[in-house]
Structure 1
Amino acid sequence: MANRAYNFNAGPAALPLEVLQQAQEEIVDYGGIGMSIMEISHRSKQYEQINDETQQLVKELLELPSGYKVLFLQGGASTQFAMVPMNLLAPGRKGAYVLSGSWADKAYKEAKLFGDTYAAAASKEEGPLNLPSLDEIQLPEDAAYLHITSNETIAGTQYTTFPQTGSVPLIGDMSSDILSHRFDASLFSLIYAGAQKNLGPSGVTLVIVREDLVKESPKTIPTMLRYDTYVKNNSLYNTPPVYSVYMMNLVLKWIQRNGGIDAMEKMNREKTALIYDAIDNSGGFYEGMAVKQDRSIMNITFKLQSDELEKKFIEESAANGFVGLKGHRSVGHLRASTYNAVPYESCKALADFMADFQRRNG
């Protein structure tokens, strides 16, 4: 479609065009039933099929071993910041957190409301945006779990390998990079991800959890905030976000059709290299904000030499069909979010625009 914007929004973010077109075709009449998927009961066989199939797609794409349950919750990753310690932080234990940026900090602060916490490692405050190295992580003896944020959307930093934590459960917030690259999911006891970056539209939160970890949640927790409620009821205890799960189903099938995680990673590295090369080869006109070894393939943060140039860049890029390039309000500058569904062509167009802007303003 010629009138599609170059969408670099950080979330809600780009969705695959063919997924949107299929959803458009099915929005009034799903599967010949004469109703939209949004109109039918979540107890119907049609929705139960979507629910079960979407769980299976997650398991297949991540190559999950037996013993894991795939759940569909609501409330976004921000609710998981609370649910994790509510369910897993027992009295006398500490919730250990790797403080890698804004989102990890939010999870850490929320956990403090429920029990003892411990900063297992933290990013350096001075210099370029960075991640603590895995070697820096120090676990207390009484750790209930270790929480790590795989990708910091605001900083533009990303872990692609993860620590071996032995008997201490490893918890991962993978909201902004799940299914973008291959990793060993079996290292984790629990993974959570808001859908609106790499999985689908907002409204559903994916939780992948080892069943033995949440076999029985503490009885003092409200029903809707207990993991075992969703495990026992196959995510159908109450009305789920039906349309968001349906859209996730379509996105997962799109990933599968297009070669799975390995193909996504290959394309992500190729398309983000276009933009990083435009930054690195600019002779200082553009400057990357994250240290090179920690750079994300999902969120590219960069800046120019003055506020005036950045304002002009944002205005001219918007006039040329680019959306979402203004950096997060907490750090400013510029950011291009290049999730799975952002096409190679969009990244090529941005790299070309950056080169042209430099020629005219350098």
Structure 2
Amino acid sequence: MKKLLSTLGVIAILGSTISNVIANDFYHKTLEQNNRSIKLWVIRRIQETNWFCVPTDIQMIFGYFNIARRQTQIYNDLGGVGENGLLINQNLVNYLNNNIRPVNQNINYGLVQIHTNFGHTRSEQLLFENYVYESLFNNHPVLFGYSIENDGHAILITGININENNPGETQYTYLEPADGAQMTFLGNEISNYIQTDGELVGFGEESDFNKDALQIAIENEKIDKNDISDNENHEVVRIQLDLTATTSATTTSQIRDTYQKLTLNEFNGEIYLFTWKKIVTDFSFNFDHLPNDIDKWVSPLIEIESAIEEIGGAHIDGHISAQVIFSHSSINHLILTLIIYVGGQCWLTGNWPHIWFMTGQILSFYKK
């Protein structure tokens, strides 16, 4: 990807005559971790041409795992042609895994596609924060690519300093391949980069941020930590959410007076507390306080374990209640993010449900 002028500052392109290694930056491979701050020490490199940002980032990732590889070799290995630069795609991810796993079998790089103007909302900033934190925690420097119109660039995220109260103030440290500089940006500046689209290459094969995921950012009133203990008891959070939902139905013939059954052939629910993944052991949803005129479109109950009624209609508003039970955890973070992935097809229309916006608050906390 060719270098562009970042909205966070103009960075000069350095020519290939300059050494591509920062002489005083030969750090031992170490991990600095303090509470919710992580820094991976990576040998900094400078791109040899102005279209070698991606090969340079890969070279730095390889260097973190003590693998020596020239930028030109990386560019050629990935099918680079002329001054076109490289695409960040699954082929690149496979290249990373195939070359690193012989020296570290725990490596599991994956690709996340990021949609246009991502990063404006708190929930999107939390998704970005969660993915980067989990990647760095698992010793995966994160390749961050972004594009504006027909141009693009890629940097390497090596550190994170999380703001527990506001993901927009979370600070990310990255290495700029254009000149080898170590720089930072904040969570509320993510959208400055992703004006067209973007990619993250980090730990695990996470779902794309723009897929049909129910993304809920819940701001919680402060919970007294003295009331919570790390014991064997289950902990339960009850959540009340304001709901806006839609489906992919485009014609009235797709919206029937009777409920359309949707059989779930896959379902995954995860709860994030301070970005540590806690697998949900049990939870339930039910709609409440819905407008009277949409009874024919909405089932009063969604049963996760078996089958659910499809949310029909182009647009509905209402409330949803959720109860989440999880084990062996301690709530000490003011922001709770619940991400639910629902898979399956309607037997009649073949449509997948889309749930776009959710806001809400924690109603209560208690021990089971």
Bucket of the pairwise TM-score, normalised by the shorter protein: under 0.3
Structure with greater helix percent: 1
Report which structure shows greater RCO (CA 8 Å, sep ≥6).
1
